[in-house]
Amino acid sequence: MKRYPPNFWLLCLSSFLFFSSFNMIIPELPDFMRTMDGERFIGLHIAVFTITAGLSRPFSGKLTDKWGRVPVMVVGAVVTGVVTLFYPLVITIMGFLILRFIHGFSTGFTPTGQAAYVADVVPDDRRGEAMGLVSFFGMIGMGIGYFVSSKVVMAFGMNGLFLISSGIAVLSILIISGLKETVAVKGKFSWQMLKINWGDVYTPAALRPAVVMMLNCFCFGVVVSLFPDFSVSLGIQDKGLFFVYFSAASLISRVVGGRLSDLFGRVPVIMASLLLVAVGSTLTGLSSTPFMFFASAVVFGGGYGLASPSLFAWVVDVTPADARGKGMSTLFLALEIGIGAGAFLSGLFYKGDITRFPMIFGGAAFLSVLAFLYLVLTRPKKA
């Protein structure tokens, strides 16, 4: 696609490598924790990772605008590369959780810089499509990371997995380091840049997209938390199949949705995606056969993927160029709050009772409808 500069495709490649690197180790971490008698803390390693990612968003957003897109992306990739090398050295569960906490900074930094960089280098009329392409490469990397994880362990052991993961992060760093900085006037790093106030946490320009992102991601948090148990309740042995169907539909719709939002506007595409997510979530909750369950995954994944690039492009549309990092930080923070709240509250209400699935997924669907109504009610008088 000649309409995109070479730096854009290099960024896509680095995104693929970055997401491959840190997702590659996730499937094997529960077994790694068991070697340290940390089985009762297995659910915690994702939580501390996510908490750090959320806490780091305001810092990464401010640094992206003040220090530059490239150095922020490099910091995130370096954290992944270095921290992964330390996992084989930990011998206590506390040391492991500290590493997971530090590792979370990687996803708090690199994706924020990536999104702002894309907005800087692509044509305005292709912004949604470009966001979809970058997320497409990231999801491919994530999927491959999950897919090869166990195979790498069987071939090279856990230490080999950590070493290969770190090596892939280094390749990502090399690519990012070669990108041309897009911030015209960037400052030299100083500790003063790490001083955060409320204005660095939230930007009013991104309010509408952030509210929609948070409500929509609540559904995703519910699905991620409960689909393994739902699969078992339907007699599905391969608990990952639901996510395979979800991811395939999401990958296709991300590219298509981004382009549609360029042609017809962000809000109409997002509104359509919210209705798809609501339908998909409702169907999931009512599923009584594997076929219906997997069909709901396609509908849900298609809707979720349709919304993502449109929301990111929308933030770029309404945020000044010198505040894009802060705008992206606001949106990512809403994403993490939504996923975290969905996962936590659904687990709290579920309590192992599969008869509650319809109510839980119906409640998640209601929040997507609520996001739809929010867009209708807050639509500017002069559209």
How many whole angstroms separate alpha carbon 225 and alpha carbon 344? 8
Would you state the pLDDT for residue 257?
A: 86
Token match 């997320």: residue? 135
CA dist., res. 284 & res. 364, Å (int):
11
What number does CATH give the domain 201-377? 1.20.1250.20
Q: Note the pLDDT of residue 295.
A: 95
Work out the angle at residue 347's Cα, subtended by the Cα atoms of residues 345 and 253, and round it to the nearest 5 degrees: 80
pLDDT, residue 337, reads 85
Spans of all domains in the chain: 6-182, 201-377
Nearest to 76 by CA among 89, 94, 61, 98: 61
d(CA 197, CA 165): 35
User: What pLDDT score was predicted for residue 292?
Assistant: 94
Residue 269 · residue 260 · CB < 8 Å: yes
pTM: 0.76
Third-level CATH fold of 6-182: Growth Hormone; Chain: A; (1.20.1250)
d(CA 317, CA 324): 9
**Would the CATH topology of 6-182 be identical to that of 201-377?**
yes
Q: What is the rounded distance in angstroms from the CA atom of residue 86 to the CA atom of residue 159?
A: 10
Token readout for 110 is 């690199």
What are the pLDDT digits (tens) for 42-90?
Answer: 656 666 777 888 788 888 878 888 888 899 999 999 999 999 999 999 9
Q: What is the pLDDT along the chain (383 residues), one digit of tens a residue?
A: 557 889 999 999 999 999 899 888 877 887 788 888 876 776 566 667 778 887 888 888 788 888 888 999 999 999 999 999 999 999 898 999 899 889 988 888 888 888 889 888 888 788 888 888 888 898 888 878 877 888 888 899 999 999 999 999 999 999 999 999 888 767 777 777 777 776 667 788 888 999 999 999 888 888 877 877 788 889 887 666 787 788 888 888 888 888 888 888 899 999 999 999 999 999 999 999 999 999 999 999 999 989 988 998 898 888 887 777 778 888 888 888 888 788 778 877 887 788 888 999 999 999 999 999 999 999 876 43
Q: Residue 272: its pLDDT value, please?
A: 95
